[in-house]
Amino acid sequence: METEKTRNGFFFFLSVVFLGTGVWFFWSLVLLSLFWILAIYMSLLLALGLLLCWEGRELSLHWCHKILILLVVGICSFFFWLLFTYWKERWLTIGLSLQVFAPYIHLGSISMMVMVAWPVAFYVIHLEGEAKIRRYKITSNERRRNKMCNMITKLRALQVAVVLPFFLILLCLYVVPWGNHSPCIQEKDKLGPKPSFFGHRGAPMLGPENTMMSFEKAVEEGAFGLESDVHISMDRVPFLMHDYDLRRTTNIREVLPNASLKHPGFFGWYFLSTLNAGKWFSHSWVKPFYHMKPLSEADREKASKQKIPKFMELLKLAQREKKLVIFDLNVPPRQHPARSAYIQIAVREILDSQIEQHLIIWLPGSQREYVRSRAPGFQHIGRLFTIEQLTKQNITRINVDYKRLFYNGLREYKASVTTDNIQVLNKINHPYYFMTPNFYMLMWILMDCASAIFIVAIFYFHW
């Protein structure tokens, strides 16, 4: 992301990011919704059981019911533990998503409260009627009188327990826009520029990732830059591969099954160049990406013949097409002959390719002084620091996971997005989920007034 001050590109950035990650977000919400529904259902059952016990009624549960309740509680607890333990990073995505969709969630929640008002009003008025009946039944018998009074008190307490949270939540929904700072709400003339797009491992929905076909497809779709992952082979040849073994994206298990778990860097380039790196993509019955369009016969044939490319091949393509290149340079494992010299090998490979130095975005953080001395034209990249810190280190770009970004932190930067879905995002010319402050205020007032009228009418009808 260039450290060029612009207006606010945050919303445009998020809109394209969430289109790219929308499938994951959708299924995450589905799973979370199922867990929350199950948890709420169990909470309601427990609350109902406590209320029945409060009224002096025995639950009379069968042993099967007791076992099932304990089993469901255990399963819910286990899944919530998994979510909070292994989805720490993804909770950040959910929080960011809620911030973006806050206006729509707010308006939808008010509509939901209107629907919930019907059963709430019915239950509260039913309790009121029962309290009246019991009040009329009070006799002169002191013991019976005390019992009836206690029952009436419980009924009143139930009414308060149901009505008070309902109206408190409704009141919060009525006033929550005062504290809503969603990037979805802003004036059109303050909308930042459209971000540029880097092809993440090329165009992995159009060709096998980290192959020349994938990068060529990214260029065809108008990628601003190309992103890849670089390993160093045993004979010191930089090549493109993301994983720490070759099982997922090559046919290593067919060729050399006993070595399928071996680190890619422990193979020589001659062997690596013989592996097929495309059949897993073109002939797999499971699509690598959800909603991925079917390949044409020509693309399927081309994909099935892809090989692991050298880093040099990507640099030649970027030089020819004048595209920026950013890459993760993987540190070779221990006992690898190039472990202490992998930075020098990568720099030498780039210089040998004759690519213009300003097209290289240098991501590795180690040995920056050496890299600057050998290739002063490289654009160095850093983390999310202040403009002053970045300027002091002579860093012109930052590379940050979008989940780590925040509203005020991004306003000073011009956004570039690394995406798997470049063929779709590059065609978007305006942000989604957008509304002006005046329109949102109008919808807010209308929804508040209409919902208040409906809720009053519902309570009046039941009364």
The confidence score (pLDDT) of residue 155 equals 66
Domains annotated on the chain, with CATH = 103-192+433-463 (no CATH), 196-425 (3.20.20.190)
User: Tell me, what DSSP letter sits at residue 191?
Assistant: B
CB atoms within 10 A of CB 298: 8
The confidence score (pLDDT) of residue 3 equals 38
Supply the mean pLDDT for the chain. 78
What whole-number distance in Å separates Cα of residue 51 and Cα of residue 275? 67
pLDDT above 60: residue 319 = yes
b/e code 412-446 from CB counts within 10 Å (16+ = b): bbbbbbbbbbbbbbbeeeebebbbeeeebeebbee
Cα–Cα–Cα angle for 52, 54, 60, rounded to 5 degrees: 40
Strand 238-240 with 196-200, pairing: unpaired
The confidence score (pLDDT) of residue 398 equals 75
The confidence score (pLDDT) of residue 41 equals 62
b/e code 69-95 from CB counts within 10 Å (16+ = b): eeeeeeebeebeeebeeeeeeeebbee
The confidence score (pLDDT) of residue 240 equals 96
CA of residue 6 relative to chain centroid, distance: 25
The confidence score (pLDDT) of residue 6 equals 35
The confidence score (pLDDT) of residue 43 equals 65
Please state the pTM of the whole predicted model.
0.70
107-149 tens-digit pLDDT: 888 888 888 888 888 877 777 777 777 666 655 454 455 555 5
Amino acid in position 239: F
CA of residue 132 relative to chain centroid, distance: 53
pLDDT above 80: residue 217 = yes
Give φ, ψ of 408 to 5 degrees.
-70, -25
Using DSSP's 3-state secondary structure scheme, residue 110 falls into helix
pLDDT above 60: residue 365 = yes
* H and E: helices and strands count for the chain: 18, 8
Choice among 11-20, 303-312, 344-353 with the minimum mean pLDDT: 11-20
What whole-number distance in Å separates Cα of residue 448 and Cα of residue 109? 11
* Pair 413, 396: CB distance under 8 Å: no
Q: Is the dihedral of CA 120, 126, 129, 133 positive or negative?
A: negative
pLDDT above 60: residue 161 = yes
pLDDT above 50: residue 456 = yes
Q: How confident is the model at residue 4 (pLDDT cuts 50, 70, 90)?
A: very low
Question: In the structure encoding, which two tokens stand for residue 63, read together?
Answer: 């042993």
Nearest alpha-carbon partner for 378 in 361, 354, 395:
361
Strand 360-362 with 238-240, pairing: unpaired
404-419 tens-digit pLDDT: 665 444 555 566 778 8
The confidence score (pLDDT) of residue 408 equals 45
What whole-number distance in Å separates Cα of residue 193 and Cα of residue 98? 23
Q: How confident is the model at residue 40 (pLDDT cuts 50, 70, 90)?
A: low
Choice among 13-22, 133-142, 207-216, 317-326 with the minimum mean pLDDT: 13-22
Give the bridge partners for 185, in sequence order.
435
Question: In the structure encoding, which two tokens stand for residue 50, read together?
Answer: 């406590």
Choice among 251-260, 323-332, 402-411 with the minimum mean pLDDT: 402-411
* Pair 210, 218: CB distance under 8 Å: no
Q: How confident is the model at residue 238 (pLDDT cuts 50, 70, 90)?
A: very high
Alpha helices in 137-277 (DSSP H): 142-175, 212-220, 252-255, 269-272
381-401 tens-digit pLDDT: 876 666 677 777 777 677 776
The confidence score (pLDDT) of residue 214 equals 95
Q: Is the dihedral of CA 91, 92, 97, 100 positive or negative?
A: positive
Q: How confident is the model at residue 431 (pLDDT cuts 50, 70, 90)?
A: confident
Provide the strand spans (E) within 64-200. 196-200
What whole-number distance in Å separates Cα of residue 310 and Cα of residue 236? 11
8-37 tens-digit pLDDT: 343 444 444 444 444 444 455 555 566 666
Question: What is the DSSP code string of 400-427?
Answer: --GGG--HHHHTTSB-EEEES-HHHHTT
